[in-house]
Chain A
Amino acid sequence: MFQEFFSRSSQLVWPLIGLLLSVVFFVGVLAYVFLGLRDRGHIGQLAALPFETEETSEGPAAITAGQIGRAS
């Protein structure tokens, strides 16, 4: 089947290579993430990175999320 396919043009190998690359890559990433990356504590820590720091501000007090409304 492949021989017949390729006999039409030597360029036809490129889409096949592309597809194989992407399939292997995608399956690899999926398998790794759902089988290998299972340390829930570590993952939770990474997901919480945007909330880790206690900020202090000079000048008017910084406001927190959701605190919006007409000033004055």
Chain B
Amino acid sequence: MTGLTVDHLSVSYGGVSAVDDVSLEVRPGSVVGLVGESGSGKSTLAAAVVGLVGYSGRVSWKGELLDGRAGRGARRRVQLVFQDHRSSLDPRMTVAGIIGEALSGGNRDERSRRLLDLVALDPAVLDRLPGSLSGGQRQRVAIARTLAAEPEVLIADEVTASLDVSVQAVVLNLLRDIQRELGLTVLFISHNLAVVRYMSDEVAVMYHGRIVERGAATEVIADPQHPYTRTLVEAVPQLGKRRPTEEGAEQLLLESSQSPAGGAGCPFRSRCPVGPRVLAGRDLCEHEDPFARARSRRNEAACHFAEARRASC
């Protein structure tokens, strides 16, 4: 059975490509993590999947297309939890109003209380305005509102990025419990690879609008194939891990804000620590885009030398 299927999805703003031909599958009841740095297009992808921005390509849930012609019911089944809890709740509506707006049918008060219970909030907050709640409480209200739509698919876009660590833990635990309890299908988006690893069954890595690598979470992190993924994994701060201060050959002194290399070759080649600028004989990267080949494979990295590296290990 197919779950959430994203097929050749592209989004561009004024001629600049934000998401470039992304295909992705989230099996029903599973959690796929999407990781990338700022400007990688992960939030745009989320907005496109739920239909908040226009796109080319196809998005479907259990075989049913989720485009403009899909019914309201079908669209409601895919919901997004927003990143910024300060702007995701209307400052002039009480919590009761916010959750009530998302509920359809009667008995809203009773059901609102059940939802608050699910996100571990006191029903007393129903009468309060978002401004009087803490960040963690607001994010839990936002999750309760999302659940009120009775979604089957949940897209969580950087839901803990603006929270302190102890509050982040509360929200992560909550999302995980709800996912299991309700059997939700989740696309979990974050810049924090450690959080993505903790939450997800599978991981997809985005770089400049493209998915450069995907696979089972444990495998991708234990043995990243794409040089970009490897950089990300190595960059994750780890408790007590002292690092050599001299720069290794694989250190990238480039930033994700830089536009990718143009032309026909691999867009990552100008940053690549194992690419043609470092190693001789890798002219292939200058001429051929590895994505064309990667698309035919699954759970693979979009890199000409990923397999070569694996073979040489």
The judgment on whether A and B are partners is no
Query: Which residues from chain B sit less than 8 Å from chain A, CB to CB?
Result: none
Query: Which residues from chain A sit less than 8 Å from chain B, CB to CB?
Result: none
